[in-house]
Amino acid sequence: MRTRDEQKEEAIRRQAIEIIAKEGLDGFSVNKLAKAAGVSVATLYIYYKDREDLIVELCRQVSTHMLECSLKNFNPDMNFEEGLRIQWINRAAYFMEYPLEVEFIEHVRYSHYYGKISMSIHSMFGEVLGKFVHNAIQRNELIKLPFEVYWSVAFAPLYQLIKFHTQGFSMANEQFLLTDQVMMQALQLVLKALKP
Looking at domain 1-47, does it have CATH number 1.10.10.60?
A: yes
pTM score: 0.88
Looking at domain 48-194, does it have CATH number 3.40.50.300?
A: no
CA distance 19 to 137: 43
Biggest alpha carbon–alpha carbon distance for the chain: 62
Question: CA 176, 107, 44 angle in degrees (round to 5)?
Answer: 125
Q: How is the chain split into domains, by residue range?
A: 1-47, 48-194
Instruction: Please report, as a single letter, which amino acid is at residue 73.
Output: N
**112/94: higher pLDDT:** 94
pLDDT value of residue 4? 72
pLDDT value of residue 49? 94
- Asked if residues 121 and 63 have their Cβ atoms less than 8 Å apart, the reply is yes
CA distance 19 to 33: 8
Dihedral (C-alpha) 63, 64, 69, 73: value to the nearest 10 degrees? 140
Give pLDDT tens digits for 8-65. Answer: 899 999 999 999 999 999 999 999 999 999 999 999 999 999 999 999 999 999 999 9
> Of the candidates 6, 183, 191, 193, which has an alpha carbon nearest to the alpha carbon of residue 81?
191
Kindly state the DSSP code that residue 144 receives in the 8-state scheme: -
CB crowding 23-52: b at 16 or more within 10 Å, else e? eeeeebebeebbeebebeeebbebbbeebe
Q: Is 163 helix (H, G, I), strand (E, B) or coil?
A: helix
